[in-house]
């Protein structure tokens, strides 16, 4: 029997959310300042839009998303009959928020038990740390979690995940060496037998160009699928139910390339964007929204547990441009 569906977005008090939004605004300041200087002139003319185009490209918004935003902004300026450059920034916030809105979707669990979540990403993106933070969010949503240390290449990866398991007081399935897919299979089987709500599968960090490692990711997915259908009437019930990619917010346009490569290989269902504190490339989310609009479940602005939060399109646009 399926459990009650739950959205992984623990209620936050207004002061707590405001504090986190202030961190986000501070983290995106490098990007925001470079764009905001465009609106300090005395008139709205072609030079303003040319400077804005350059600023958006420098922020790694990408050519296609930049063209989209500029066309939409010019339309909004004309419709509102604006004459002051300072007022144009507010319209850019609206345009960016609208572009990002399709990314604003919650992570939902409870349709299947366990909900199997496979997490991928390149080395250094913050994948294992994000899994630890996600475990905290799941616990705050009253979900029981089992971790799978399917990154068997690095002992340090297993140890790091073990630390997060201890910190969050959850079980972990791991082994030295061996087949990552086998670890994932054992973890999903254990999650079923122990009645866990969620099984989080950590995979080895890799670059999309490492084809043999990408093939291993596909193998993990295939093997996890063999744990069986949760609902024989629906192919959607085939695990893994979520395939998340963790991307580093500082990698800019390279992040878009990663999203495309991992999505083509695995069929991504969601993103976690980390390290947005101090980035000058905050426009990369606009590029993703325009070219590969995969939901962004969480964004991170620091190393603390509370520094990973749900993504809100308007909040992000306001933090970036105000």
269-314 pLDDT, tens digit per residue, is 999 999 988 888 889 999 999 999 999 999 998 777 778 899 999 9
Q: Cβ(199)–Cβ(187) under 8 Å?
A: yes
The owner of tokens 């079923």 is: 192
User: Where are the alpha helices (H) located in 195-296, listed in sequence order?
Assistant: 211-225, 253-266, 284-291
Q: Cβ(304)–Cβ(55) under 8 Å?
A: no
Token reading at 264: 């083509």
Token reading at 46: 């072609």
Distance CA 189, CA 316 (A): 39
Q: For residue 192, which of 257, 116, 84, 118 has the smallest C-alpha distance?
A: 116
Cα separations (Å) of 94 from 27, 77, 257, 298?
20, 12, 26, 21
Average pLDDT over every residue of 154-171:
86
Q: Cβ(151)–Cβ(295) under 8 Å?
A: no
Q: For residue 164, which of 126, 190, 193 has the smallest C-alpha distance?
A: 126
pLDDT at 1: 40
Whether the ω angle into residue 114 lies within 30 degrees of 0, i.e. cis, is: yes
For 150-161, how does the pLDDT look when each residue is reduced to its tens digit (9 = 90+)?
A: 987 776 778 888
For 38-65, how does the pLDDT look when each residue is reduced to its tens digit (9 = 90+)?
A: 998 878 999 999 999 999 999 999 999 9
Give the angle 302-270-173 at the CA atoms, nearest 5°: 75
Distance CA 159, CA 164 (A): 9
Q: Is 83 helix (H, G, I), strand (E, B) or coil?
A: coil
pLDDT at 21: 87
């Amino acid at each position: 029997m399926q459990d009650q569906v739950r959205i992984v977005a623990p209620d936050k008090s207004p002061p707590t959310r405001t504090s986190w939004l202030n961190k986000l605004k501070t983290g995106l300041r490098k990007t925001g300042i470079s764009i905001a200087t465009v609106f300090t002139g005395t008139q709205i003319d072609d030079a303003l839009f040319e400077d804005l185009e350059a600023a958006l490209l420098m922020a790694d918004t990408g050519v296609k998303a930049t063209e989209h935003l500029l066309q939409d902004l010019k339309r909004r300026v004309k419709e509102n009959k604006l004459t002051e450059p300072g007022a144009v920034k507010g319209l850019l916030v609206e345009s960016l928020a609208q572009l990002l809105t399709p990314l604003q979707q919650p992570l939902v669990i409870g349709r299947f038990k366990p909900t199997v979540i496979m997490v991928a990403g390149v080395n250094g993106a913050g994948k294992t740390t994000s899994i630890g933070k996600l475990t905290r969010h799941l616990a705050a949503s009253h979900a029981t979690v089992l971790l799978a240390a399917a990154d068997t290449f690095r002992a340090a990866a297993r140890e790091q995940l073990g630390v997060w398991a201890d910190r969050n007081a959850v079980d972990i399935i791991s082994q030295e060496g061996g087949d990552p897919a086998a670890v994932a299979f054992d973890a999903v089987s254990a999650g079923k037998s122990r009645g866990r709500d969620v099984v989080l599968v950590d995979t080895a960090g890799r670059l999309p160009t490492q084809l043999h490692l990408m093939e291993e990711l596909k193998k993990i997915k295939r093997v996890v699928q063999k744990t069986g259908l949760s609902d024989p009437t629906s192919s959607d019930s085939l695990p893994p139910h979520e395939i998340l990619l963790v991307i580093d917010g500082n990698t800019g346009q390279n992040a878009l390339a990663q999203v495309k490569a991992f999505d083509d290989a695995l069929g991504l269902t969601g993103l976690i964007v980390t390290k947005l504190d101090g980035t000058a490339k905050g426009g990369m989310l606009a590029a993703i929204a325009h070219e590969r609009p995969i939901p962004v479940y969480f964004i991170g602005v620091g190393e603390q547990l509370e520094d990973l939060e749900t993504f809100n399109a308007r909040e992000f646009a306001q933090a970036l441009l105000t």
